[in-house]
Structure formats: C-alpha cells, structure tokens
Chain A
C-alpha cells in the first residue's frame, strides 16, 4: 500500500510540472462546463485569470453556477477557491494589487465592464465571510443597514418588516426578538453567523457567496447553517467555499474542485465524490493531497 501511494504522489507532481512547463495550463473542464447543469444558469465565468501583483492566483477558470442550487468549491488551502468566489461580486476590486481578466456573466450580463457599478452588484450578490463579522451595532441596525443604504424601504414600518422577515428567514428571529436593540456582537458565534446571513438576505440578493461560513462554528451551529442554506437555495443561488468535504457532500448539488489555481473538475456532487474523472480529485477527496 505504502509504495503505491508514493508513486501516485509523484505522478501528481509530474502532472503539475508538465503544466507549468507549457506556460499557462488550460483546464480541461473549461471546454465542457454546463452540460450537467439542470437548473437555470446564474453565473457564467469564462477564462478567469487573477493576478496578485505578479503572482498568478487563478489560471483560466471557466465555471457555470446554477440558480436555486448550492455549488460547493473545494480544494486545498491556497488553491484559489476564495479568489474565485470574490470574483463573482467583484470583491477583488478593493484589493489594490489584484487584477482580474476574463468574463463573468450574471444572468447573461457581463459584470466586468465599466457600466456595472460594483457597489450595486454587491447588493445583488451578497456575501457571508469565514469569521462572523456583524457590525458593532444593534441586531436591528445590522440587518437594516443594507436596505437603508440601498433605499429599499420606503418608511420605518417597511424597514421593520424587512428586518423581521430576514431574521425569520435566517432562523434567528425567535432567539433575538426580545433584544433587537442589543449589540450583534453579543450573540454566540453561530447566532452571529446567522445574523450575517440575515444581513446578506435583507437586500434580497439573487445569489449569496459563502466563504467557509462554518469553519469557526461548532457542529450544532454548523448543522443549523446547513439547514438554513437548504431553505435559502429555494429562492437564490448559493456558492460556498468549504474545507469540509463532508459539508460539500451534505449540502451541495454541484461541486467544483480547485487545485493550484486551476479548476480541475466540476460536476454533480455525487459524481465528484463517488466517481471523479480526474486523479487529483480522487487523491484530494480520499485525503491524499491537501
């Protein structure tokens, strides 16, 4: 068993080396991205390259993301999952040294053009971060912030309605209904993360990007968030970056595997985890690279 494993390791190394020698490696999956998509297309990313200064973090990634479904991005640390996720709502724009080339379409409209205001795009594509990051304000103000700055509520009652609905959708309302005026930072970690989800859905986004939303949470809080994601996907698209392959297998319909800045394989979650086409995917999900 042991010698076998080491040869596989070598193989992977050779594979990567050969890719590098050819210059920009082309990912095979990019050519046939959307065959398995059985829901409407939400994001259509083509030939995405991302550079941090002179370091290239993503190599020619093309990926389709369906509506009303959860797409999981998996892969070892530093493989570009989060970088790709942040391309979908142009969060990379705020990093000075970051440069993105390629095309991302949201509902068929290109988002990497001058005509698209990234500020409005981010209202349409919400984001939840790895570490719960509620504003150091009241629970109410946390959720009300998005609708306020985007003018989504005509008056105070409407704003309250949005806040209550968002908290209900995030499954947090019953726990906090008596202390909406208390600071959001006083909640437990899992509650804080659900507050962040409530905050993200308060602007009624079409998609939510989640960057390892459960990595700082205990298993019970994680289960609640996963349950919540299952409910939310009925009305919007969810893209989740996760280090937990069990989580990807549990919650997602489609899974994309990233390795060293390339998209190695993308397909239905069941297929990726039971019958991966690529050796690197096989190695990763069986825990041999990471």
Chain B
C-alpha cells in the first residue's frame, strides 16, 4: 500500500507542500471567510435597521395601546329623550349631569363647561348610540365606560407631564385638580384600545379608529385581485405556452418588465385621467383604487406566473401530449395546477405591495375624511396607507401615537400575507 503511495508521490509533478502553495491555499480560505463576513454584515445591518424601525414604531405607538376611559352613571331621562325618536334626545345635558354630580361644589357655568370637556366630545354620541341600540334603558341609570378627551388621555398616560410649569402644558392646574377627583374616586380605567381597530375615523383621536380604512383596503385588494389574477395568469400562459419567439413578443416582454418599474404615482395620474376623468367612475371609490393598483400588481403577477410555469418540468408536458392531450388539456390539467403555488405566492406578494401603496390612492382622492365604512366598492372609502397619511397630518397630540399604531396594524397585515405566501409555497411545492 505504502509502495503505491510512494510511487504516486514520486510521480507528482507539483510540490503541493511548498510554502508558496501553502500561502495560496491560506489566501483562498481567507477569501472564503471574507465573503462570509461580508454577507453576515449585510444581513446584520438589514436586521438592525428593521429593528430600529419596528422599535421606534412600537415605542411611539405604546400610548395608543390603551385608551383612558371614565366610568360614569348616566340617567337616561325620559324628559330629555323621547321614546319614539331616541336618536334625537338632548344627550349633551345627560352627559353634563352625569359628570357634574361628582363636582357639586362647582357652580360657575364656565368652569362646569370646562369640567365636561374632560370627557371626549364624542361621548354624547356614544351614549346616544347605546340608547338607540338598547331602547329598554329608557328611564334607567346606566353605567358606561367612555373615553376621556385627548389632553386628559395624554395626561393620564403621562405624555403631558404634570411637573412642567402650567403655561407650558395644555391642561391647567385647576383642570388637573378636577381630573384628580375622578382618579381618586377610581372612575378612570385604562382598557386595551380596541376602538383603534373597530371604530371609524374621527377628528377626535380618542374615538378615531381604522375600521373604515381596513374595510376600504379589503375592498381595494378584492378588486385588485379579481382583475389582476385572471388577467395575469392568462397573459403568462399565453407568453409561456403559446407565443412563438418573435420580435413582437420580445417587445411585449420588455414592456411588462418596464411596467413593474413605473413609479406608482404615474398609475395614480392615469387612474385620475382615465377612470375618473374619462369613464366618470366615482371619486374615492375602492373600485377605482383596486383598478389602479391592479395595473401595478399585474406585472408582478405575470412575471411570477411565468417563472412558475417555466419551472414545471417539460417531461410533464411531454407525458400529457404523448397521451393525446390537447394543448388546453395539458395546460389546464397539468401545467397550471403544478404552477399554482408559485403563481399564488407571486400574487400575494403583489397584493402585499398594493396594500402598502399610497401615492396612486392619494391622486384618486382616497385620503378623504370619511366617518363610516364603505358599504360597497362604489362608496367613498379610505385605505390603510392613506389613513396613516391623514393621521400623520393631524395636529392633535393623540394622533401621533395612533399613526404609529396604524403603521403597526398595516405591518401586521403585511406580515400575515407574506407568511401565508411562504406557507403556501412550502406546503404545495411539488417534488419531482
């Protein structure tokens, strides 16, 4: 055995152990390490930036997680609310009475008005809604937890600091004293702020929520999906399965790839000019939003679908053709089902992009102030990104944290969609 090795050794044309060679090998390994370190650094940097973004969002959104509420006894006076038309009662005075019972010593009208303002201006509407929904409370005293107005919400959460001099904060020492009466009586609660998701938009941050925006975004994505999914698949199937190699098809292909890179605001202008201007479709409607965004999603879906179709092994096509399947049977029975996970993944990624898109929606008026959720795709609506945009523009202190919270809600939806895409891909990925 060793004889043979010796023989091989003596026949070696190159001295593999020379210092020169060793240096070369070491250099090679150093390069490998360098490449690995560069990759790790890049990933670390990306994760760090993402971490900073999410942490800062979470930090500024933390005060929007809860909402300060005050629990008061409201006497639904039949003298002020008619049984026949409960929606038109004098709820303002009911609220006033409920608040002022805790301040019998205050008789000055101006001061009384200031005390009532500790509660959100929307409280009288919330009491009204409660009575309309439960007419049998008429003549009874009901206990409701209703939101504080924004300055006192901030004061309660410590965003407005008590140790500042009086002229540097939005609430005076007197107002703080009144507020502390409620705190002492244990009337102030801090429940989780579900209103952020389930309320509609409002000028008052303490009652503003994302409901309309979420429903609007859902309608927009629905329209976008219904348009871009079938059109995208049809285009991809044609280009991949039927189109012969020709100059025309090359031009189409280049243009589809270009379309994917067109700035989204351009699509917004197109939607404004064509869908609103020429076809006269309603302004701010999810239908138009979905149509505009489908223009953006289409190239993504076409490119993903073509890649998925290309990945179906030719042997499957040959097998089906060899069985005497016609072209549409080959595509419908074999190629498309096998490509579907890839197509769906691409579609979801395209829709996730569309969900976060703001600029084209601004141009077709989807940043309007709308206080009810859209009942159909033709009614005016907002979307999540445009709602964030409007809130970020609002001066009220409470909207600062709510904007961050809304961004987190949007990111949450994106994470869910992308997770679904990954699960789909892993679950249905076929092995050959």
Partner-B contacts on A (CB < 8 A):
89, 91, 94, 96, 119-124, 126-129, 131, 133-136, 145-146, 149-150, 185, 196, 199-200, 203
Contacts and interface: CB of A to CB of B under 8 A. Distances in A.
A133 B321 contact: no
A123 B333 CA distance: 17
Nearest to A202: B323
Contacts of A146: 323-324
B109 interface: no
Interface residues of B, number: 21
B393 interface: no
B319 interface: yes
B430 interface: yes
Nearest to B321: A94
22 contacts: A89-B322, A91-B321, A94-B321, A96-B244, A119-B324, A122-B322, A126-B322, A129-B315, A129-B319, A131-B315, A133-B315, A133-B316, A136-B316, A136-B432, A145-B323, A145-B333, A149-B324, A150-B324, A185-B431, A200-B322, A200-B323, A203-B324
A135 B324 contact: no
Nearest to A205: B324
A256 to B, nearest CB: 21
B337 to A, nearest CB: 9
Contact of A96 (B245, B319, B329): B245
B326 interface: yes
Q: Which 10 A-B pairs have the closest CB atoms?
A: A123-B324, A127-B322, A133-B315, A122-B324, A133-B319, A146-B323, A119-B326, A96-B244, A136-B430, A119-B324
A149 B322 contact: no
A29 to B, nearest CB: 28
B250 interface: no
B331 interface: no
A96 B297 CA distance: 31
B318 A91 contact: yes
B320 interface: yes
B371 to A, nearest CB: 52
Given A119-B324, A136-B432, A146-B323, 19 more contacts: A94-B321, A96-B245, A119-B325, A120-B324, A121-B324, A122-B322, A127-B318, A129-B315, A131-B315, A133-B313, A133-B315, A133-B319, A135-B319, A135-B320, A145-B333, A146-B324, A150-B324, A185-B431, A199-B323
Contact of B323 (A94, A123, A185): A123
Interface in B229-278: 244-245
Contacts of B323: 122-123, 126, 145-146, 149, 199-200, 203
Contacts of B316: 133, 135-136
B334 A133 contact: no
B318 A129 contact: yes
B131 interface: no
Nearest to B334: A135
Nearest to A97: B245
A149 B321 CA distance: 12
A135 B432 CA distance: 10
B338 interface: yes
A272 to B, nearest CB: 28
Interface in B389-432: 430-432
A157 B57 CA distance: 64
Interface string B289-329: 00000000000000000000000010110111111111001
B237 to A, nearest CB: 15
A146 B333 CA distance: 12
Contact of B318 (A119, A126, A133, A185): A133
Nearest to A183: B430
Contact of B322 (A91, A136, A150): A91
Nearest to B315: A133
Nearest to B430: A136
B312 to A, nearest CB: 10
A46 B405 CA distance: 77
A111 to B, nearest CB: 13
B227 to A, nearest CB: 30
Contact of A129 (B245, B322, B329, B431): B322
A136 to B, nearest CB: 5
Contacts of A89: 322
A120 B329 CA distance: 13
Given A96-B245, A135-B334, A196 B319 contact: yes
A239 to B, nearest CB: 13
A96 B327 CA distance: 14
Contacts of A127: 318, 322
Given A96-B245, A136-B432, A122 B321 contact: yes
Contacts of B245: 96
A100 to B, nearest CB: 16
B315 A149 contact: no
A116 B31 CA distance: 63
A131 to B, nearest CB: 6
A83 B319 CA distance: 16
Contacts of B319: 129, 133-135, 196, 199
Contacts of B322: 89, 91, 122, 126-129, 200
Contacts of B320: 135, 145
A196 B322 CA distance: 11
A136 B322 CA distance: 16
A68 B234 CA distance: 45
Interface in B163-185: none
B432 A185 contact: yes
Contacts of B326: 119
Contacts of B244: 96
B336 to A, nearest CB: 13
B243 to A, nearest CB: 10
Contacts of A123: 323-324
Contacts of B333: 145, 149
Contacts of B338: 136
A159 to B, nearest CB: 15
From A91, A121, A133, A146, residue with most partner B Cβ within 10 Å: A133
Nearest to B245: A96
Contacts of B313: 133
B257 to A, nearest CB: 22
Nearest to A121: B324
Interface in B69-110: none
Contacts of A126: 322-323
Nearest to B244: A96
A150 B329 CA distance: 11
B318 A149 contact: no
